[in-house]
Structure 1
Amino acid sequence: MALEFLPVPLSWVLLALLAVLFYLYAVRPLWVFKKMGVPGPTPLPLLGNMLTIMNDGIWNPEASRQRVQLYGKVYGIFFGRSAILTISDPEMLRDIFVKKFHALSNTQTDAVTLDTKPSGRMLINLRGEDWKDVRSTLSPAFSGGKLKMMGPAINTCADQLVQNIAKFAETGESFDTKEVLGEFSTRLNAFEARGATGQLVVLESHCYTTPSFPFFRFILESPSLISLFMFPSIMKPILEWLNIDLFPRDATSFFYGIFDQLIGLRQKSDEKGRVDFLQLMMDAHKDADEEEEDALTRDDIVANGFLFFVAGYETTATSMAFALYNFALNQEEQDKAREEVNKIMENRDLIDYEAVHEMSYLEMCCMETLRLYPPIPNTGRVASEEVKVQWLTIPKDMMVIVPVIAIHYDPERWPEPKKFIPERFTKEAREKRDPYNWLPFGAGPRNCIGMRLAMMELKVGLAKILMKYRFMTAPDTDVRAEL
Structure 2
Amino acid sequence: MDFFYNALRKIKDEHNKKSDGRVDFLKLMIQNQIPDDQAKDETREQPVKGLTDHEILSQSFVFILGGYETTSTTLTFLLYNLVTNPDCLEKLVEEIDTNFPPDTPITYDALMKMDYLEMAINESMRLFPTAPRLERSCKKTVEISGVTIPKDTLVGIPTYVLCRDPQLWDSPDEFRPERFSPESKSEVNQYAFMPFGLGPRNCIGMRFALMIMKLLVVKLLQNFTVETCKETQIPLELNVIFQPKVPITLKFIPRSYKEKQ
TM bin, normalised by shorter chain, reads 0.7 to 0.9
Q: For 1:287, give the aligned amino acid.
A: I
1:260 matches 2:15? no
Pick one of 154, 169, 173 that aligns with 1:399. Answer: 154
Counterparts in 2 of 1:477 and 1:265: CA distance versus 1, 3 Å: same
For residue 328 of structure 1, report the CA deviation from its aligned partner.
Answer: 1.2
Distance 1:368 1:308 in 2: 26
Counterparts in 2 of 1:466 and 1:432: CA distance versus 1, 3 Å: same
For residue 322 of structure 1, report the CA deviation from its aligned partner.
Answer: 1.2
1:421 is matched with 176
Q: 1:37-436 residue pairs with structure 2 within 5 A?
A: 251=1, 255-269=4-18, 272-282=20-30, 284-288=31-35, 295-346=50-101, 349-436=104-191
For residue 411 of structure 1, report the CA deviation from its aligned partner.
Answer: 1.0
1:474 matches 2:222? no
Between the aligned residues of both structures, percent identity stands at: 36
Contact 1:344 1:358 in 2 (8 A): no
Distance 2:138 2:54 in 1: 27
Q: Secondary structure at the match of 2:135?
A: strand
Distance 2:22 2:228 in 1: 43
C-alpha offsets along residues 299-325 of structure 1, whole Å, 9 cap, x if unaligned? 543333222222212221111111111
Distance 1:347 1:467 in 2: 9
Larger CA deviation: 286-295 vs 464-473: 286-295
Distance 2:60 2:220 in 1: 28
Q: For 1:266, give the aligned amino acid.
A: H
Counterparts in 2 of 1:345 and 1:383: CA distance versus 1, 3 Å: same
- RCO comparison, higher one (Cα < 8 Å, 6+): 1
Distance 1:413 1:472 in 2: 31
Q: For 2:183, give the aligned amino acid.
A: E
* Total equivalences in the alignment: 230
Q: Secondary structure at the match of 1:308?
A: helix
Distance 1:276 1:351 in 2: 25
Q: For 2:127, give the aligned amino acid.
A: L
Q: State TM-score, norm by structure 1.
A: 0.44
Counterparts in 2 of 1:292 and 1:453: CA distance versus 1, 3 Å: farther
Distance 1:412 1:262 in 2: 50
C-alpha offsets along residues 27-82 of structure 1, whole Å, 9 cap, x if unaligned? xxxxxxxxxxxxxxxxxxxxxxxxxxxxxxxxxxxxxxxxxxxxxxxxxxxxxxxx
Contact 1:342 1:467 in 2 (8 A): yes
For residue 293 of structure 1, report the CA deviation from its aligned partner.
Answer: 6.0
Larger CA deviation: 467-476 vs 402-411: 467-476
C-alpha offsets along residues 412-441 of structure 1, whole Å, 9 cap, x if unaligned? 111111111110111222212211111111
C-alpha offsets along residues 83-113 of structure 1, whole Å, 9 cap, x if unaligned? xxxxxxxxxxxxxxxxxxxxxxxxxxxxxxx
For residue 380 of structure 1, report the CA deviation from its aligned partner.
Answer: 0.4
1:76 is matched with none
CA-based RMSD: 2.4
Contact 1:323 1:369 in 2 (8 A): yes
Counterparts in 2 of 1:303 and 1:328: CA distance versus 1, 3 Å: same
| Unmatched tracts of structure 2, length 5 or more | 40-45, 244-261
Distance 2:157 2:220 in 1: 34
Q: State TM-score, norm by structure 2.
A: 0.79
Distance 1:294 1:449 in 2: 24
Greater share of residues in helix: 1
For residue 390 of structure 1, report the CA deviation from its aligned partner.
Answer: 4.8
2:199 is matched with 444
Q: Secondary structure at the match of 1:470?
A: strand
Contact 1:384 1:396 in 2 (8 A): yes
Distance 1:395 1:455 in 2: 36
Distance 2:144 2:121 in 1: 32
Contact 1:285 1:298 in 2 (8 A): no
| Unmatched tracts of structure 1, length 5 or more | 1-250
Distance 2:55 2:139 in 1: 23
Counterparts in 2 of 1:254 and 1:335: CA distance versus 1, 3 Å: same
Counterparts in 2 of 1:360 and 1:308: CA distance versus 1, 3 Å: same
Counterparts in 2 of 1:430 and 1:304: CA distance versus 1, 3 Å: farther
1:462 matches 2:217? yes
C-alpha offsets along residues 333-392 of structure 1, whole Å, 9 cap, x if unaligned? 111111111211238733221111011100111111111111221000122443334532
Q: For 1:353, give the aligned amino acid.
A: Y
